[in-house]
Amino acid sequence: MTEQTGATPEPTTEANNADTNAEANSENAVSGQPQKYESWFENQTPELQGLITEHHDGLHKALKAERGNRRGLEKQLRELSETMEGEHQATLKTMADNLRQEEVKSQFYEDAQRAGVKNLRLAYAVAVQDNLFDRRGLVNFEDMQKVYPELFGVVVSGTRNLAGAGTGSNHVPAKKTMDDLIRGKLGR
């Protein structure tokens, strides 16, 4: 048996960081506000930050490599289509166009997320509908936000979520509780 001296061991730095992280997470849970990734990342230990950064960099390199492979494949399809005739040529050009469209879509989603777009699919549909892409397949999100601020989570001034707004009435009915409804039926 070991002899107990009555002294408690000092908690480790990792335990202190874990406690700090738990406190920060619980404060956000209590306030109802989701924690931002950046603030969460800053509260992590340097070792964990290094692991996350290393993983992120690896994913980014893989993404760049994949996009490079797609561009190479598109180029090969276009070159091959030039040597073909008739239906085969049209098929290869269509395949190259589809591959290019998928690359543009992938780049759009990545850029839109960085620009703060809240509904990516709707924003992409708007960009296609309004032909907001430049010759390189990129969209100017600042211009898009001026025309469609609601895609970025911005409430357009002058519009409120009101019952009956489509009828031209801005009257908001008083909120009634179940008790009010019961008392109303009983005549109180």
Does residue 74 contact residue 99 with C-beta atoms inside 8 Å? Answer: yes
- The CA-atom distances, in angstroms, between 89 and each of 13, 23, 75, 92, 97 are 65, 63, 14, 5, 12
Question: Higher pLDDT residue, 125 or 84?
Answer: 125
Output the pLDDT for position 88. 85
Question: Tokens at residue 67, please?
Answer: 């996009």
∠8-14-15 over CA atoms, to 5°? 45
Output the pLDDT for position 9. 46
Question: Tokens at residue 149, please?
Answer: 């601020």
Residue 106 in this model has a pLDDT that exceeds 60: yes
Question: Residue 85 — pLDDT band, cuts 50, 70, 90?
Answer: confident
Sign of the dihedral defined by the CA atoms of residues 24, 28, 29, 35, in that order: negative
Question: Residue 156 — pLDDT band, cuts 50, 70, 90?
Answer: low
Output the pLDDT for position 86. 85
Does residue 112 contact residue 124 with C-beta atoms inside 8 Å? Answer: yes
pTM: 0.50
Least confident span in 1-10, 74-83, 101-110, 175-184 = 1-10
For 1-18, what is each residue's pLDDT tens digit?
444 444 444 444 444 444
Tokens 């893989």 identify what position?
62
For 128-142, what is each residue's pLDDT tens digit?
999 888 888 889 888
